[in-house]
Amino acid sequence: MALQLLTSFLPLLLLLCFTNLTMAAYSILSFGAKPDGWMDSAPALLAAWGKACGDNKPATLVVPKGYFLVSRALFQGPCKNNIRLLIHGTIVGDSAYSAASEWITFKYVEGLSLYSATFDARGQSLWSCKAAKRSCPTGSTALTISQSKNVTLSGVTVKNSENFQIAIMFSQGVRVEGATVTAPVDSPNTDGIHVHMSSLVSITNSTIRTGDDCISLGTGVTNISVQDIRCGPGHGISIGSLGGSPGDTIVQNVTVSSVILTGTQNGLRIKTWANPYDGFVSGIIFRHAIMNNVQNPIIIDQNYCPGNANCPNQSSGIKISGVQFDDVKGSSATAVAVKLDCSRSNPCSGIEFTSINLSYNGNKRRMAESFCRNVEGSSSGLVNPPSCL
């Protein structure tokens, strides 16, 4: 009899145990959000975040299907637990621009996982303002991870940001996987993913089509992995620009591998201003890259000085060393497929080429060329165009 009672209550006992172990779930609909794309859901979204962040056990914040207008949102920690944010619908920005520098921001959070989200910043009105050369604000970054640790962005779509699409700043242990980032080719300053003053960041299996760099790495980045990226249109994958203002610049231990660039302005690039400010770039590996009609497949430019303002006749103080280009192949849209234009006061050193095969996609009678200035290094295996190292 006792065994029969235990057997009959066993499913209920298991359910109670499972319920205690599962995450608490908070839907923004319970806090007044409306999936109509018109009412501002920022207050509801932040109220739900406050509940999830204050829960003593891991929590899930849910945004169901539909269009949710969010004027601006700052999700701030620290939280008492790890939070999983499931966004099945689309978060849309206000079509009118403002002076805000960020739209959706996660700050001081740890252990955040963001899944399946779609963010449409609707930056078209600001782009039009800039195109008309009116007095316009710089624009907002669509999605910012700031001063945070152990953050995962999985399957996230970000599009039409006014300025940078995704920014990772002053953070450690951030993973971006399966992202889709898009903006028109003529949209200004819409870098796909920008990393600044951060370490242990990985960006994998992502597609980026935008009006500026697909991925840009700024100063203070260390231990960065970029892998399996499809880039284009855009300005390519860039380290820099660096040295535009005083202060030590440090970029080290960066690996970029298994990338495909199509119709981009640049391929694999390191760019520094022609300013005397100190810094160094070292321990960089570019490996397994395919170029499809890319204007500058391999480029190091240490004489960046747009408009010849504030830096003519100066020399970059940033030392570039220990850079490997391995297995880079495909086609160049310009005759100079490899350009290494380094600082006259701090020449590049330890530049290594292995298995490079780039052809010129223009005049069939003209071969692809290399250009080197103030650079020391070596090459091995097939290197086409012939190395000038």
Look at the alpha carbons of 80, 81, 87, 88 in this order and tell me if their dihedral is positive or negative.
negative
φ, ψ of residue 16 in degrees (nearest 5): -65, -40
DSSP 31: G
- In angstroms, the CA 320 to CA 252 distance is 10
Q: Which helix (H) or strand (E) holds 168?
A: strand 166-169
Task: Tell me the pLDDT band of 21, cut-offs 50, 70 and 90.
Answer: very low
- By C-alpha distance, which of 96, 99, 54 is closest to 75? 54
Residue with tokens 């497929």: 337
pLDDT of residue 22: 59
Residue with tokens 């109670």: 16
Per-residue pLDDT tens over the stretch 42-81: 999 999 999 999 999 999 999 999 999 999 999 999 999 9
Per-residue pLDDT tens over the stretch 87-131: 999 999 999 999 999 999 999 999 999 999 999 999 999 999 999
Q: Check whether the bond before 43 is cis (ω within 30° of 0).
A: no
Give the CA count within 13 Å in the CB-facing half-sphere of 373.
13
User: Would you call 196 a catalytic residue per the annotation?
Assistant: no
- In angstroms, the CA 153 to CA 258 distance is 20
* Tokens found for residue 262: 């199509």
What's the predicted TM-score (pTM) here? Answer: 0.93
CB–CB of 353/325 below 8 Å?
A: yes
**Paired residues of 328 in beta bridges:** 289, 356
User: Would you tell me how many other CB atoms lie within 10 Å of the CB of residue 379?
Assistant: 18
CB–CB of 108/138 below 8 Å?
A: no
* Tokens found for residue 41: 């859901």
Per-residue pLDDT tens over the stretch 168-215: 999 999 999 999 999 999 999 999 999 999 999 999 999 999 999 999
CB–CB of 259/285 below 8 Å?
A: no
The one catalytic residue in 88, 194, 196, 235 is 235
